[in-house]
Amino acid sequence: MVTAFRIENIEYPPLVFILLVENEEIQRINREYRNKDSVTDVLSFPMLEMKDGEFVVKPGEPDMEDGKLFLGDIVISVPKAIEQAKEYGHGEERELAFLALHGLLHLLGYDHESPPRSDIMEKRQEQVLSEIGLTRK
């Protein structure tokens, strides 16, 4: 995460909560907040409006918690991460790091709703993972 914050030039000390859950819990959250009754690997709940790492509205004092900028919450399904690590043929550490980074990039306003937007997000993910030594195998 520190590498991603440095690459994104986040000038405030950031605060992100990451919740590791079972499949049933992420399915419940997905159903409750996104109206999708299915298990997913990661969910993000941004607290600030951002687009591609830039603030749409500059944060103010209400956005700070204990002197840190609260970016939002990330929820990761550990069983889904383990399953995907096996499926993709890489380690669980890499998959969990990928999902945390993927969630963080959503908090920072990146998305993969169109091919060009997806390319931008994927390049950023690979840049960070490569820099921390967790490349695809």
Q: What is the pLDDT of residues 1-44, one digit of tens each?
A: 788 888 888 888 899 999 999 999 999 999 999 999 999 999 99
Separation between Cα atoms, residue 29 and residue 11, nearest integer Å: 31
Most confident of 56-60, 100-104, 131-135: 100-104
Q: Model-level pTM greater than 0.85?
A: yes
Q: Fill in the DSSP letter of residue 35.
A: S
Residue spans of the domains in the chain: they are: 2-131
Radius of gyration of the chain (CA): 15
Report the mean per-residue pLDDT for the chain: 91
Q: Is the model's pLDDT at 63 over the cut of 80?
A: no
Separation between Cα atoms, residue 129 and residue 136, nearest integer Å: 9
Q: Is the model's pLDDT at 62 over the cut of 80?
A: no
Say if residue 37 is exposed, middle or buried (CB neighbours under 10 Å; 0-12, 13-18, 19+): exposed
pLDDT computed for residue 7 by the predictor: 87
Tell me the percentage of the chain whose pLDDT exceeds 90. Answer: 64
* Class of CATH domain 2-131: alpha beta
Q: Average the pLDDT over 111-123 and give the result.
A: 90
